Amino acid sequence: MLDTTLPDFLASDAQAAERDAVGPGPVPLTLDVNNVSHSLFIEPKTTLAEALRDSLDLTGTKVGCDRGACSACTVWLDGKPIAACMMLAIDVGSRKITTIEGLAHGDELHPVQSAFIAHDAVQCGFCTPGLVMSCAALLESNPTLTIDDIKAATSGHLCRCGTHPHVHDAMLDASRIRKT
């Protein structure tokens, strides 16, 4: 009698086909970043942060802890701040990504970027792109800010230089300018 049992490696392939699975090798996918559509060929295990930095050379997004604990990698997913290190690029789908590189309009800085410069809210600068992304999202959704709103929106961001008080001042200023 014939042994019809598939060898292990083939059985595994058959099960993967049944689930419509792709990978583990590189797969084609499209990422919409800063209103530009990019075609990539990357492994399913690639995080959004890795895809942005390594495949698209958008190195403004920083990776600190790589565990969602420091928020340095903050980008927008459909306008909302997320940790790019804790999202797989393949999981983004058709959602729109905005990075720090997409915030300014040409040479015209986003009001939050200008306020950060005016208030010297930067020291070493590693946490700054992430902080700017959280602050800019906050200003878009709530133009009349209180200090508590700013503290809540930046609560996930670690800054070892201690720039948080300057960030708070910058944001209160940006909010005042936005209102007038």
Query: In Å, how far are 28, 72, 82, 149, 160 from 85, measured between CA atoms?
Result: 20, 9, 9, 25, 19
Burial of 71 (0-12, 13-18, 19+ CB in 10 A): buried
For other proteins, which residue of 54, 80, 140, 165 counts as binding (CB under 8 A)? 80
CB of 108 to other proteins, least distance (A): 27
For other proteins, which residue of 34, 40, 60, 88 counts as binding (CB under 8 A)? 88
Site string for other proteins, 96-125 (x = CB under 8 A): ------------------------------
Enumerate residues 6+ apart whose C-beta is below 8 A from 179: 143, 144
For other proteins, which residue of 87, 103, 167, 171 counts as binding (CB under 8 A)? 87
3-state class of 19 per DSSP?
Answer: coil
Enumerate residues 6+ apart whose C-beta is below 8 A from 54: none
Stretch of 56-64, 70-78, 107-115, 118-126 contacting other proteins, by CB under 8 A: 70-78
Tokens 């997320």 — which residue? 82
User: Is residue 58 involved in binding other proteins (CB under 8 A)?
Assistant: no
Size of the site for other proteins (CB under 8 A): 38
User: Is residue 21 involved in binding other proteins (CB under 8 A)?
Assistant: yes
Strand partners, 42: 27
In 3D space, the residue among 115, 131, 116 whose CA is nearest the CA of residue 177 turns out to be 115
Residue closer to other proteins by CB (options 47, 113) is 47
> Which residues are at the interface with other proteins (CB under 8 A)?
12, 15-16, 19-25, 27, 43-45, 47, 66-69, 71, 74, 77, 80-83, 86-88, 90-91, 93, 134, 151-153, 155-156
